[in-house]
Amino acid sequence: MSKATGPKYRVHFRRRREGLTDYRKRVALIKSGLPRLVIRKTNKQVIAQIIEFSPEGDRVIASATSKELSKHGWLPKRNSPTAYLTGYLCGKRGKKKGVKRVVLDIGLSRPSKGSIVFVGLKGVVDAGIESTFDESVVSEDRIRGLHIAEYAKRLKAENEELFKKRFSDYLNKNVDVVNLDKLFETVKEKITKDDA
């Protein structure tokens, strides 16, 4: 008679079972020895954090959310210009705390060209923190919001009623969506002055 044995499988960590953490990627990022730049998008905002590993628990060095951009005159949305400005603000704060280099942690996001994650990284790099990535994955025009401004101009000329409906958030807060790229430059200058 053979000896009884238990199940031949191993239960994964809870966050792995729930699909929240890829531990193989996480270990590779931690082995780099660099602080991680974590950029996440929710239904209403973009969050950028520079996080340092610690055995007791990760430590946030610098953080910025897109909601904070309203102080600088930007209507927080979940688009490319907002992701860039959030990353830029986080990068300025990280630079003040002595962060020189980061590695991007995209989590479970898919790495696609023009993604908010890469646009946020570009903002951090432009703030003066080093990181390696292919700059061809982001478009300068999309970062500045030129695609939104051009669409707004075209829609305003073709269908004023649809324009008011689609851009009601901007219009209610007196944001000139037709010149959004100019507003972007103004907000970036304000962030540079305030967090210099």
pLDDT at position 59: 96
In a domain, 2, yes or no: no
Enumerate residues 6+ apart whose C-beta is below 8 A from 49. 37, 38, 39, 60, 62, 63, 64, 90
Q: How confident is the model at residue 147 (pLDDT cuts 50, 70, 90)?
A: very high
In a domain, 127, yes or no: yes
pTM, two decimals, is 0.89
The overall average pLDDT reported for the chain is 91
Name the burial class of residue 85, with classes exposed (0-12), middle (13-18) and buried (19+) by CB atoms within 10 angstroms of its CB. buried
Which of 36, 185, 182, 10 lies closest to 121, judged by CA? 36
Do residues 183 and 176 make contact, with C-beta atoms less than 8 angstroms apart?
Answer: yes
Strand order in the sheet with 59-65: 59-65, 46-52, 36-41, 103-105
In a domain, 89, yes or no: yes
- For residue 130, the SS3 value is strand
In a domain, 1, yes or no: no
The CB density around residue 51, as the number of other CB atoms within 10 Å, is 18
pLDDT at position 68: 95
CATH code for the domain in which residue 149 is found: 3.30.420.100
In a domain, 10, yes or no: no
In a domain, 56, yes or no: yes
pLDDT at 2 over 80: no
pLDDT at 190 over 80: yes
pLDDT at position 196: 55
pLDDT at position 158: 94
Number of domains in the chain: 1
| pLDDT per position as a tens digit, 77-116 | 899 999 999 999 999 999 999 999 999 998 888 889 989 9
For the chain, counts of helices (H) and of strands (E): 9, 4
In a domain, 7, yes or no: no
In a domain, 9, yes or no: no
| pLDDT per position as a tens digit, 3-21 | 767 677 788 889 888 888 8
| pLDDT per position as a tens digit, 54-80 | 989 899 999 999 999 999 989 888 999
Which of 120, 129, 130 lies closest to 96, judged by CA? 129
Its domain, for residue 61, covers: 15-194
pLDDT at position 172: 92
Tokens of 33: 């020895």
